[in-house]
Structure 1
Amino acid sequence: MYNIKNSKELAKLISYTNLNNMITESEMREFLEKAKELNFHSVTITPTYIPLAKEILADTDVQVGSVVGFPLGFEDTESKIAETEALLKKDVDIVEVVINLSYLKDEKYELLENEIKQIKELVENRILKVIIETKALEDYEKANAAKVAENSGADYVKTSTGFVTPNHIFENVNDINIIQKYAPKIKIEIYGGIDDYKFANQILTGGADLIGSNKGYEIVKRYKELRENTQVKPKPITLTKKD
């Protein structure tokens, strides 16, 4: 079992996510207030609401992340660079770029590295995550994608956009093992389908550094309810054997 001491520590292992393309401003405000309440590691949101997030989360250490080339990753490098520059102008803390799966399938690793390196140069000391969509890949492709991300200076490999996700814990652990073996220096975020504390704990126990979930608030609140808000009064006992 992953040694989580309390709900605050758990929240710091979650990127609370809302990439709903039809969300209203009032709904996003509600989402961000929940993120503020529990002080997550970060939020991942659409570019539209970065200024709102920076405003609401200004007095917290919750980082604000958004996406480039989302969700398919097939934009050319120039387009992805322009998207990245637009995010940086909004003072985003984390950039998540979807890998070009066509390049990966054709084993054009040099093109992939060049693209990610250019984005990392723009991002500088901010966090860069590379989304690789593991469910759509063979194991050797996952290994090569992770190596490309690490060689290019990315901080995290993220396993899914959320549209195509591994549906079993063993698939996730297999992905973690592959990434750790072939790109041992890069951090790993597992995203997709993590909607309860049990699954979240399994993912962390399996070796993930971070969880991405649109159910982050429910996961942490449920954990808090089970571990911190439940008081059990023990029966009185004696420490000596009765005659």
Structure 2
Amino acid sequence: MPSPSAAEIAGIIDHTLLKPEATRAEVDALVAEAVELGTYSVCVSPSMLPVRVPEGSDLRVAVVCGFPSGKHTTRVKAVEAAEALTYGADEIDMVIDVGAAREGRYDDVRADIAGVRAAAPAPVVLKVIIESAALDEEQIVGACRAAEQAGADFVKTSTGFHPAGGATVQAVRLMRRTVPSLGVKASGGVRTLEQARAMVAAGATRLGVSGSRALLAGAEQAPTGY
């Protein structure tokens, strides 16, 4: 199977701006760039809503929830997700309680995700960030299965803010094998076209990228925190 073209890669990118210091002007620029590049969506922080998407564009808006620690209560995450929808979000990228997964409390992980799913019902797309670099293989499998049981649409590798690191081909491959019916989003450290293609080959169906222009041009990106 041939490697996806740059245009095909663009079509599965969530063009991302999650820096704490981000401004509304920078989000507007992000949207304009996303439309120019042909990315699937933009991914922003809740306080950046509503996002001004050009009329006639099919660009989606993804918003993070419980970000980046995942240590918010389920009720807080649910309220955050519900509010994001009222301001025009199409997709929610929530962070699990990573410590619960590390302790093997997968029922708690499932309940947390289910709470957000109830607040953001289908057809809203729910992606579940498991922070794969902070988990061992057994914990990755447990977290992915909890997401599937709770009705999530995607499992996602990383916030991009954890010191343990971001996406790896090995984690994406394991996630794809564990929940073949769900989408898999690789995010955190995907900075080159070669890396993006490797993630897709491993099973990723969506990519979280902050430096999309450089990636699609085949240029090396400097680390940006996502």
Structure 1 residues 140 and 2: CA distance shift in structure 2, 3 A: farther
Please identify, of 126-135 and 178-187, the stretch whose mean Cα deviation from structure 2 is larger: 178-187
- Which runs of 5 or more structure 1 residues have no equivalent in the other structure? 224-243
Matched, 1:213 2:213: no
Q: Tell me the percent identity.
A: 28
Deviations 1:69-92 (A, max 9, x none): 100001111111111111111120
- Counterpart residue type for residue 60 of structure 1: S
The alpha carbon displacement at 1:210 in A equals 1.2
Name the SS for the 2:76 alignment partner.
helix
- Which runs of 5 or more structure 2 residues have no equivalent in the other structure? 220-226
Aligned position for 1:228: none
Structure 1 residues 198 and 165: CA distance shift in structure 2, 3 A: farther
Name the SS for the 1:33 alignment partner.
helix
The alpha carbon displacement at 1:167 in A equals 6.1
Higher helix share: 1
Q: Is this contact kept in 2: 1:50–1:64, CA < 8 A?
A: no
Tell which structure's C-alpha radius of gyration is larger. 1
Q: Is this contact kept in 1: 2:43–2:61, CA < 8 A?
A: yes
The alpha carbon displacement at 1:220 in A equals 2.0
The alpha carbon displacement at 1:221 in A equals 3.5
Aligned position for 1:159: 157
How many pairs were matched up? 218
Q: TM-score, normalised by structure 1?
A: 0.83
Distance in 2 of aligned mates of 1:156 and 1:84: 16
- Counterpart residue type for residue 197 of structure 1: L
Aligned position for 1:113: 110
Distance in 1 of aligned mates of 2:201 and 2:37: 22
Aligned position for 1:241: none
Distance in 2 of aligned mates of 1:173 and 1:98: 20
Q: TM-score, normalised by structure 2?
A: 0.89
Q: Is this contact kept in 1: 2:95–2:128, CA < 8 A?
A: yes
- Counterpart residue type for residue 151 of structure 1: Q
Distance in 1 of aligned mates of 2:54 and 2:10: 15
The alpha carbon displacement at 1:102 in A equals 2.3
Name the SS for the 1:163 alignment partner.
coil
Report the aligned-residue RMSD: 2.0
